[in-house]
Structure 1
Amino acid sequence: MEEWELEYWPHRITCQEIFNVTKGFSDENVIGIGGNGKVYKGVIEGGVEVAVKRISHESKEGLREFLSEVSSLGRLKHRNLVGFRGWCKNEKGSLILVYDYMENGSLDKRIFECDEKMLLSWEDRLRVLKNVAEGVLYLHQGWESRVLHRDIKASNVLLDRDMNGRLGDFGLARMHDHDKAISTTRVVGTAGYMAPEVVRSGRASAQTDVFGFGILILEVVSGRRPIEEGKPPLVDWIWGLMEKGELVNALDERLRAKGGIDYEEVERVLHLGMLCAYPDPRTRPTMRQVLKVLDGTPSADESEGEGMEVYLLDKMKSSTMWSKYHRSLRHGAHPTFEQIRQSISSSLSLSGSDIIMEGR
């Protein structure tokens, strides 16, 4: 037994139990396939449904994901984070993680390329965004250490029985003391969600999570992925609409066709998403401020140092700030997938084993 196993022993589950509840990791129990392995559905004692992630142990990334999930999510508990039930590791090297089963799958399945019955309404989308914001705020400020998720996106948001959003997949997460900066400089994340400063230096911060949440807002509202072949990047497209005074046209056309939408609310949420995804991390709001805007309660907050209306809501519509944003776009502030690859190879000088980047 390794030292880290002793620290997380209370969450350990026998591998035989996992083998039994997944019917020997039967293909008929597979409910998802990730970059480092498959996810199976199972039913444990008491009739509780669980999701079982079986991680490949053949790569360094698989072991890193396993350790990161156990050390972070294994000690966190919040209604808007996917519940972690336990883990096991057998002598053959199999790495198993067990979570609460989320009945309604991932958010992206309810936003992109889904039929009318599966499509989330505007009210549902806004509620899920609030749920995720509460979860990220807990990671940043609500625990003894600060946890950086580093991969916030629609496919990592799961929906429970009541269609509430829960942030999951902590395979890239890192934690550090509140008064210290994270030490890693590895470039990790998904193309389209990575903040510019992460691409340049590999250093993550709470503001890089805010950036990822901003992209999540934009994709959930628009029904478009951050990067789609043959189309301009999502942020550029929405900026163009905002510049022309047509921001509401970024709303998912399937929702527009249904009608009954509060377009002032849509504009406010889109402005917030763009502000979160602003190239300069110093301009982005905190997650506490983000949540207040989503809740529609922009009251003064002494802990943040400035009144909310002055600091955030006015800034969201500041012509001076967005003109600076326009200039930054012309200089490639939001990198494309290929630009990320080029930046990694030409300026960061990291080995392939130190880079984790996914496409969509």
Structure 2
Amino acid sequence: MDAAGPAASAAAVADDAVGGGRAPADGGARSSSILGMSVPVAAGVGSALAVLVVLAAVAAAVYFARRRGARPPSLSRVEHAPSSVSGSGSGSSRPASSARKDKPTGVSGADRIAGAGASSSDVASSSAAASSLELPVKRKAEAGRIVGGAAAGVEMGWGRWYDLAELEVATGGFCPENVVGEGGYGTVYRGVLAGGEVVAVKDLFDHKGQAEKEFKVEVEAIGKVRHKHLVGLIGYCAEGPKRMLLYEFVENGNLEQWLHGDVGPVSPLTWEIRMKIAVGTAKGIAYLHEGLEPKVVHRDIKSSNILLDKRWNPKVSDFGMAKVLGPGSSYVTTRVMGTFGYVAPEYASTGMLNESSDVYSFGALLMELISGRSPVDYNRPAGEVNLVEWFRGMVGGRRVEGLVDPRIPAPPPPRVLNRVLLVCLRCIDGDAHKRPRMGQIVHMLEGDEFPFRTEHRSPRASHRTSTGSRPSLLSDNVAGADDSDKSMWR
């Protein structure tokens, strides 16, 4: 008995050490444990950890999904452009294809000189206006409100994206009664928006994708430009193949209609009104050349692209053929495009384009304002078909009085006429480098002084002045001037 007692006590102590010193609750049976915890407790802890891992995985998946969803899908940018809002029936056709390095072609055709297309520099690739074309589409796609593939009613700071259905209502279903202009570029309708604003809606013809090209060129050229002598672009619409542009509506038609239309024996365009139109047009072009960076060359300055309001204020329109010249660019090689009679000879022969090409076109336009004649008129005698050549011949023959439109109620004073004729001849100088800039032309038209320096007169003119006889300004300083004479500018 005594020997068994100590042995049992030692076994009990050993059992207590293994069991953690805790006696089983049931008075004899001991439960197993994990890491010092009972099985139920360990199971609960494991379940909690599993739930936390699952929640963390779900949160990570949601986060990365949102990151991927925030990246908008790549959208192809619109690559096309427009034409004139002139409300004239003499529209001009546009080239159908595009080429980067084609050699320029010569001038041909009585209406439009057009190459196969425009070079890649037709538009500045980083134009903010063109970039904004994508924004409405992205926003509408994210909102799930794409209508027919186009975004409507989105404001972009400079204009608005319009729904096709909205424009159909504004133009009465594009009815013929609302047509104010039509040509090779498309049809222009008068429209009234829901808010009562009157607009000009240009529906571009899609000749082998040309509507898209013109669409892009005009939006990028003047999308954000605001000037009182440039027609304002209000917005646009692009649904499916349709490309439309909205402009401010200029209610008095275009200059071509008033110069060559049936206005009666006495023209409502007095000399003062014609000079107002000339100065305003020059200011608008000067802003394109000298007030923008990068600068814009219009390439299609002509009377049908000069719109007039009720007070005869001009607005230059139709930027569908405009070229954007990047910083440091003095010339760019391009396909020859323009309207016959207005195109500079060096551009027609070489395809080298810069601001002086617009200056030549403005000179032809100024001659058109003075004479009331079209730049090219095949109904006139052989020597009078081309306005520029006829004009030079009349000045050389000292018959300047015959240059003035006979329908002008009161002809200008001789000194004023001589000054404007000199400006014309400087603009069409055969040497493009000697033509004035448009800003200089504005000053010459507005000033009272003649646009040359007397100290640079030819020896013949200087001799006649020294003998006391006053030289004929036109004959001695323009018609008979040498090359150094023709570069005389204030």
TM-score range for the pair, normalised by the shorter chain length: 0.7 to 0.9
Distance 1:73 1:144, change over 3 A: same
Query: Given the alignment of the two structures, is residue 263 of structure 1 paired with residue 414 of structure 2, yes or no?
Result: yes
**Cα drift, residue 194 of structure 1:** 0.5
Answer yes or no: is the 8 Å Cα contact 1:181–1:205 preserved in 2: yes
Alpha-carbon distance in structure 1 between the residues aligned to 2:328 and 2:276: 32
Distance 1:244 1:6, change over 3 A: closer
Query: Given the alignment of the two structures, is residue 7 of structure 1 paired with residue 7 of structure 2, yes or no?
Result: no
Q: Which residue of the partner structure matches residue 247 of structure 2? A: 99
**Cα drift, residue 220 of structure 1:** 0.8
SS at match of 1:282: helix
Match of 1:249 among 390, 402, 405: 402
SS at match of 1:17: helix
Deviations along 1:100-141, one digit per CA (max 9) or x if unpaired, are: 111100011111133237631111110010000000000001
**Cα drift, residue 3 of structure 1:** 3.1
Answer yes or no: is the 8 Å Cα contact 1:111–1:119 preserved in 2: no
**Root mean square deviation, CA, Å:** 2.5
Q: Which residue of the partner structure matches residue 323 of structure 2? A: 174
Deviations along 1:250-296, one digit per CA (max 9) or x if unpaired, are: 010111xx335323212211221121012210121111111111101
SS at match of 2:407: helix
Unpaired runs of 5+ in structure 1? 300-307, 327-360
Q: Which residue of the partner structure matches residue 108 of structure 1? A: 256
Distance 1:318 1:250, change over 3 A: closer
Which has the larger helix fraction? 1
The one-letter code of the counterpart of 1:242 is: V
Alpha-carbon distance in structure 1 between the residues aligned to 2:414 and 2:393: 18
Tell me how many residue pairs correspond in the alignment: 315
Alpha-carbon distance in structure 1 between the residues aligned to 2:316 and 2:287: 11
Alpha-carbon distance in structure 2 between the residues aligned to 1:60 and 1:108: 29
Match of 1:209 among 358, 365, 387: 358
Distance 1:73 1:325, change over 3 A: farther
**Cα drift, residue 297 of structure 1:** 5.4
Question: After superposition, where does 1:37-116 map in structure 2 within 5 Å?
Answer: 37-91=186-240, 93-116=241-264
SS at match of 1:239: helix
Alpha-carbon distance in structure 2 between the residues aligned to 1:177 and 1:220: 32
Q: Which residue of the partner structure matches residue 45 of structure 2? A: none
Question: After superposition, where does 1:86-235 map in structure 2 within 5 Å?
Answer: 86-91=235-240, 93-116=241-264, 119-229=268-378, 230-231=380-381, 232=384, 233-235=386-388
Answer yes or no: is the 8 Å Cα contact 1:175–1:182 preserved in 2: no
Deviations along 1:22-62, one digit per CA (max 9) or x if unpaired, are: 11211111111021211000011332111000001233443
**Cα drift, residue 144 of structure 1:** 2.1
> Quick check: 196-205 or 308-317, which moved more?
308-317
Unpaired runs of 5+ in structure 2? 1-74, 79-129, 137-155, 459-472, 484-490
What TM-score, normalized to structure 1? 0.81
Alpha-carbon distance in structure 2 between the residues aligned to 1:82 and 1:297: 29
SS at match of 1:266: helix
Alpha-carbon distance in structure 2 between the residues aligned to 1:120 and 1:21: 32
Answer yes or no: is the 8 Å Cα contact 2:398–2:474 preserved in 1: no
Larger Rg computed on CA atoms: 2
- Structure 1 segments of 4 or more deviating over 6 A? 311-316
The one-letter code of the counterpart of 1:254 is: R
Identical columns (%): 33
What TM-score, normalized to structure 2? 0.60
**Cα drift, residue 6 of structure 1:** 4.4
Deviations along 1:299-332, one digit per CA (max 9) or x if unpaired, are: 9xxxxxxxx6429996985847644789xxxxxx
The one-letter code of the counterpart of 1:193 is: Y
The one-letter code of the counterpart of 1:55 is: L
The one-letter code of the counterpart of 1:119 is: P
Q: Which residue of the partner structure matches residue 23 of structure 1? A: 172
The one-letter code of the counterpart of 1:217 is: L
The one-letter code of the counterpart of 2:284 is: G
Distance 1:222 1:206, change over 3 A: same
Distance 1:215 1:313, change over 3 A: farther
Answer yes or no: is the 8 Å Cα contact 1:218–1:274 preserved in 2: no
